Amino acid sequence: MNGAPRFFVLGAGRSGTSILQSLLSMHARLVVSHELRVLELAVLTGALFDNAGEPNIDERAPRTPAGLALGVRFVELLGEEQLRAADKPEGVYSDKYPPYCEQLAHLDRLWPQAKFVHILRDGRDVVASAIQAFITDRGWRRQAETPTVEQLATHWARQVRAARAYAARLPRERYLEISYEELTRDAANVLDIVLRFVGLEPDASHTAMAKRMRPGKTWRDTASHLELVQFESVADASALNRELGYPPTPLRPSDPGADATQSSWSATLTSPAQWADAGLAARARGDEKRAAFCFTRAIRGKSKDPRGAVALLEQSASGEALFAAMNARGWSDEHSRAALAAWLQARGLDAATARSVMGFHAEHKR
């Protein structure tokens, strides 16, 4: 059994690395771990070894060959044990992690035989998906202060360019680029290409799942006009998108395809108050989907309109409501606290406790 990673799956965050990892893991001889970050683990092992096991390590200190060798060995053992746990003892181990894009040189140094599979996606979709993930994702990603579009676009371009820059030094048999759009359009074919690239024969187990893949939503449905303008304002991101062959953004009513995009109705919306008004109008029309989109934009930036949070909290079960709660929990105004108390009650807490925890205890006593 050899648990050393045979290849790494990489791609800027929200480019489809998780879907690719899930599909590949269905192969009878393949385990692709989800962001185990084996490079970090190898370096951590080396750092601890070099620092006599003490955890107060100096991140910048160079690692000794003996320490790194132990780190590489630890990753190999982790790979072997995962293959064993997955009942694929003679299989192949890999790890996917988006930031590997900027770590190819280090991966190449520690695993000089490893291959790299880089998944690319339209930058506008990456940014729109990231915004949605920061708002609604369960677990660690959700946060009250989401990054700006410009930050996300810059990050995307930097990751993609870093991977491609190092890949230019690698032989062709060690680096493969695939596209997210192609993966969702014809998953079986793309997976065949990837599996053969890493030295495995395609099998039936993942083909059935691949056939069920459907193209997902694009930035045309999930980004506002303002967000698209902000993306295009990042020159490097805009240029990279063109280099990758993606069509330009229709930002004016006369642009081809403009009517089909979200930007056509959101072109005049910029301030939190405007977004909150648009959300209330959409809700009045019964368009809850658009209302939620508008309300999240009303509280996503540095300045926020509390009406957005209060409205989202009414949709108690949604991911957007959790995002609203994260924003509103620090507000002291009575209206927001009452909305939070009602939201807590809708999510299972008794009324008296819900109101008490939001500071309405004194009122209760009266």
Partner 1 sequence: MTRAILIGGPPNPNLHLLEGQLARCEGVRAVRFHVSALLERLREATQFRASVWQGVHAKASQWVDPAVRRLAPELAAALASGADVLVNAHVDNARHVELLADALPEAHFVFVAHAGRDDARAEHVGAIPATWTPFVEPWLRARDALGERGTTVQDEQLARDPSGTLAALCSSLGLRAAAEWVGPRPIEAAPSQRTLEALSASVAARRALEALGYPALDVSSALARDPALATLHARSLVDAGELERAAPLLERLARAPTPAIHTALALLRRRQGRHDEAVLGFLRAIQADANHVEAWTHLFAMTERDELRAVADFARQHPNVKVRSALARWLVARGLDAEAAEIVASVEHQGWQTR
Integer Cα distance of 336 and 328 in angstroms: 6
Contact region with partner 1 (CB under 8 A), list: 136-144, 231-239, 266-274, 276-284: 136-144
109 binds partner 1 (CB under 8 A): no
Whole-number minimum distance, CB 265 to partner 1, in Å? 31
For partner 1, the closer CB: 76 or 232: 76
List b or e across 90-114, with b for residues whose CB sees 16 or more CB atoms inside 10 angstroms.
Answer: ebbbbbbbbebbbbbeebbebbeeb
Whole-number minimum distance, CB 328 to partner 1, in Å? 10
357 binds partner 1 (CB under 8 A): yes
Burial of 289 (0-12, 13-18, 19+ CB in 10 A): exposed
Site for partner 1 in 141-170 (CB under 8 A): 142
**How many CB atoms are located within 10 Å of the residue 352 CB?**
12
For partner 1, the closer CB: 73 or 158: 73
3 state SS for 309-357: HHHHHCCCCCHHHHHHHHHHCCCCCHHHHHHHHHHHHHCCCCHHHHHHH
For partner 1, the closer CB: 217 or 347: 347
- Please select the residue that binds partner 1; options are 1, 61, 66, 105, rule is CB under 8 A: 66
133 binds partner 1 (CB under 8 A): no
Reading phi first (left if > 0) and then psi (alpha if -120 to 50, else beta), residue 286 is in left
- Please select the residue that binds partner 1; options are 15, 17, 25, 230, rule is CB under 8 A: 25
Integer Cα distance of 324 and 310 in angstroms: 7
Burial of 115 (0-12, 13-18, 19+ CB in 10 A): buried
- Please select the residue that binds partner 1; options are 17, 45, 296, 336, rule is CB under 8 A: 45
Contact region with partner 1 (CB under 8 A), list: 32-40, 108-116, 216-224, 290-298: 32-40
Residues pairing with 116 in the sheet:
8, 175
Binding site for partner 1 (CB under 8 A): 22, 25, 31, 33-37, 40-41, 44-45, 48-49, 52-55, 66, 69-70, 73-74, 77-78, 80-82, 84-86, 138-140, 142, 322, 325-326, 329, 340, 343-344, 347-350, 352-353, 356-359, 361
